[in-house]
């Protein structure tokens, strides 16, 4: 009876997809928001205009903290 049951590794992969969410912001967009904060734009204003919470902003700052400037995507091509 082929195809009746999914192999266990496929079921586990499907379950991981439902558990982990993807960010609606790319890494470059996150770095740009952090760069704006470094240039003097208030964190509250950045969070309001981009629709993120303060907690998310500070989590991103902790994760990407040492980066002064956003990476230009066109620089790699």
Q: Sketch the domain layout of the chain as residue ranges.
A: 25-76
Nearest to 58 by CA among 43, 48, 77: 43
CA distance 48 to 50: 6
CA distance 51 to 74: 26
Helices 27-38/43-50 angle, 10° precision:
150
Mean pLDDT of 1-26: 67
Mean pLDDT of 14-37: 83
pLDDT confidence of residue 55: 96
pLDDT confidence of residue 9: 62
User: Position of tokens 């509250």?
Assistant: 44
Q: Is pLDDT above 60 for 25?
A: yes
Sequence-separated (6 or more) residues with CB below 8 Å from residue 36: 46
Q: Is pLDDT above 50 for 77?
A: no
DSSP helix/strand/coil, 48: helix
pLDDT, tens digit (0-9, with 9 covering 90-100), for 26-75: 999 999 999 999 999 999 999 999 999 999 999 999 999 755 555 565 45
pLDDT grade, residue 1 (50/70/90)? low
């Amino acid at each position: 009876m082929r195809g009746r049951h999914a192999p266990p590794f496929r079921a586990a992969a499907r379950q991981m997809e439902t558990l982990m969410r993807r960010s609606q912001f790319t890494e470059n967009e996150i770095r740009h928001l952090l760069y704006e904060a470094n240039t003097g734009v208030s964190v509250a204003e950045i969070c309001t205009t981009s629709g993120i919470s303060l907690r998310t902003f500070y989590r991103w700052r902790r994760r990407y903290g040492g980066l002064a400037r956003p990476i230009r995507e066109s620089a790699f091509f």
